[in-house]
Amino acid sequence: MSGILRVLAVSAMMALAALPGHAVELVMVEQAGCSYCARWEDEIGPIYPKTPEGAHAPLRRVDLRGDEIDALRLKRRVNFTPTFILIDADGQEIARLEGYPGEDFFWGLIERMLQENTAYRPPVAAGG
Protein backbone atom coordinates (compact mmCIF):
# COMPACT_ATOMS: atom_id res chain seq x y z
CA MET A 1 0.00 0.00 0.00
CA SER A 2 2.81 2.46 0.78
CA GLY A 3 4.14 2.04 -2.78
CA ILE A 4 0.81 3.14 -4.21
CA LEU A 5 0.66 6.13 -1.86
CA ARG A 6 4.18 7.13 -2.84
CA VAL A 7 3.29 6.97 -6.54
CA LEU A 8 0.16 9.04 -5.93
CA ALA A 9 2.10 11.62 -3.92
CA VAL A 10 4.77 11.96 -6.62
CA SER A 11 2.09 12.19 -9.32
CA ALA A 12 0.29 14.92 -7.37
CA MET A 13 3.50 16.92 -6.92
CA MET A 14 4.29 16.64 -10.63
CA ALA A 15 0.79 17.80 -11.55
CA LEU A 16 1.04 20.81 -9.23
CA ALA A 17 4.47 21.72 -10.58
CA ALA A 18 3.05 21.80 -14.10
CA LEU A 19 0.42 24.41 -13.18
CA PRO A 20 1.17 28.10 -13.71
CA GLY A 21 2.44 29.93 -10.64
CA HIS A 22 -0.73 31.99 -10.56
CA ALA A 23 -3.57 32.94 -12.83
CA VAL A 24 -2.99 36.12 -14.79
CA GLU A 25 -4.84 38.35 -17.16
CA LEU A 26 -3.75 41.09 -19.52
CA VAL A 27 -5.67 44.28 -18.91
CA MET A 28 -5.80 46.71 -21.80
CA VAL A 29 -6.47 50.23 -20.55
CA GLU A 30 -8.05 52.21 -23.38
CA GLN A 31 -10.12 55.32 -24.00
CA ALA A 32 -12.49 56.59 -26.66
CA GLY A 33 -10.74 58.35 -29.52
CA CYS A 34 -7.39 56.60 -28.96
CA SER A 35 -5.98 55.98 -32.45
CA TYR A 36 -3.37 53.50 -31.15
CA CYS A 37 -6.11 51.54 -29.36
CA ALA A 38 -8.02 51.35 -32.66
CA ARG A 39 -4.88 50.25 -34.48
CA TRP A 40 -4.26 47.52 -31.87
CA GLU A 41 -7.87 46.38 -32.28
CA ASP A 42 -7.46 46.13 -36.07
CA GLU A 43 -4.08 44.38 -36.03
CA ILE A 44 -4.13 42.26 -32.85
CA GLY A 45 -7.63 42.25 -31.33
CA PRO A 46 -9.16 39.38 -33.33
CA ILE A 47 -6.00 37.25 -33.09
CA TYR A 48 -5.00 37.65 -29.43
CA PRO A 49 -7.57 35.27 -27.84
CA LYS A 50 -6.51 32.51 -30.29
CA THR A 51 -2.82 32.65 -29.37
CA PRO A 52 -0.83 30.87 -26.62
CA GLU A 53 -0.30 34.28 -25.01
CA GLY A 54 -4.06 34.93 -25.05
CA ALA A 55 -4.75 31.52 -23.54
CA HIS A 56 -2.24 32.13 -20.73
CA ALA A 57 -3.27 35.74 -20.04
CA PRO A 58 -6.81 36.43 -21.30
CA LEU A 59 -7.53 40.02 -22.27
CA ARG A 60 -9.80 42.30 -20.27
CA ARG A 61 -10.50 45.83 -21.50
CA VAL A 62 -10.78 48.66 -18.98
CA ASP A 63 -11.68 52.25 -19.76
CA LEU A 64 -9.14 54.79 -18.52
CA ARG A 65 -11.92 57.01 -17.16
CA GLY A 66 -14.16 54.19 -15.86
CA ASP A 67 -14.68 52.86 -12.36
CA GLU A 68 -13.24 49.41 -13.10
CA ILE A 69 -9.68 50.74 -13.17
CA ASP A 70 -9.99 51.70 -9.48
CA ALA A 71 -10.38 48.04 -8.51
CA LEU A 72 -6.92 47.22 -9.90
CA ARG A 73 -3.95 47.41 -7.56
CA LEU A 74 -1.60 49.33 -9.83
CA LYS A 75 1.98 50.29 -9.08
CA ARG A 76 1.39 53.73 -10.58
CA ARG A 77 -1.24 55.70 -12.46
CA VAL A 78 -1.94 54.94 -16.12
CA ASN A 79 -1.03 57.94 -18.26
CA PHE A 80 -1.08 56.56 -21.82
CA THR A 81 -3.49 54.48 -23.86
CA PRO A 82 -3.30 51.78 -24.68
CA THR A 83 -1.45 50.46 -21.66
CA PHE A 84 -1.25 46.69 -21.24
CA ILE A 85 -0.99 45.58 -17.61
CA LEU A 86 -0.31 42.05 -16.50
CA ILE A 87 -2.50 41.43 -13.43
CA ASP A 88 -2.36 38.51 -10.99
CA ALA A 89 -5.37 36.72 -9.50
CA ASP A 90 -5.49 39.24 -6.63
CA GLY A 91 -5.74 42.22 -9.01
CA GLN A 92 -2.12 43.25 -8.37
CA GLU A 93 -0.04 44.67 -11.22
CA ILE A 94 2.87 42.44 -12.19
CA ALA A 95 4.21 44.26 -15.26
CA ARG A 96 3.12 46.74 -17.90
CA LEU A 97 3.64 47.77 -21.50
CA GLU A 98 2.81 51.40 -22.22
CA GLY A 99 1.64 52.23 -25.71
CA TYR A 100 1.28 50.10 -28.80
CA PRO A 101 4.57 49.77 -30.71
CA GLY A 102 2.99 48.06 -33.72
CA GLU A 103 2.29 44.44 -34.53
CA ASP A 104 5.93 43.50 -35.21
CA PHE A 105 7.10 44.55 -31.73
CA PHE A 106 3.96 43.83 -29.69
CA TRP A 107 4.21 40.03 -29.81
CA GLY A 108 7.85 39.91 -28.71
CA LEU A 109 7.28 42.37 -25.88
CA ILE A 110 4.19 40.55 -24.59
CA GLU A 111 5.95 37.17 -24.84
CA ARG A 112 8.93 38.50 -22.88
CA MET A 113 6.66 40.10 -20.27
CA LEU A 114 4.85 36.78 -19.77
CA GLN A 115 8.07 34.74 -19.64
CA GLU A 116 9.73 37.06 -17.12
CA ASN A 117 6.73 37.35 -14.82
CA THR A 118 4.72 34.12 -15.09
CA ALA A 119 5.14 30.42 -15.78
CA TYR A 120 4.47 31.05 -19.50
CA ARG A 121 6.71 29.28 -21.98
CA PRO A 122 6.09 29.75 -25.71
CA PRO A 123 5.30 26.64 -27.70
CA VAL A 124 8.19 25.10 -29.59
CA ALA A 125 7.80 25.44 -33.34
CA ALA A 126 7.53 22.22 -35.32
CA GLY A 127 10.92 21.15 -36.63
CA GLY A 128 12.77 23.52 -34.36
Q: How far apart are CA 34 and CA 80, in angstroms?
A: 10
pLDDT digits (tens, 9 = 90+) for 8-66: 444 444 433 344 444 899 999 999 999 999 999 999 999 999 999 999 999 999 999 99
Residue 24 CA to residue 57 CA, distance in Å, equals 5
Nearest to 26 by CA among 70, 88, 78: 88
- List, in sequence order, every residue forming a beta bridge with 60; answer none if it has no partner: 27
Domains along the sequence of the chain with CATH: 23-117 (3.40.30.10)
**Residue 9: predicted pLDDT:** 43
Question: What's the confidence (pLDDT) of residue 3?
Answer: 54
Beta carbons within 10 angstroms of residue 24's beta carbon:
21
For 90, list phi and psi in degrees, rounded to 5: -90, 5
Contacts of 110 (CB under 8 A, 6+ apart): 26, 53, 84, 97
Return mean pLDDT, the chain.
86
The reported pLDDT for the residue numbered 23 is: 82
Q: What is the pTM of this model?
A: 0.79
The DSSP code for 48 is G
Higher pLDDT, 8 or 84: 84
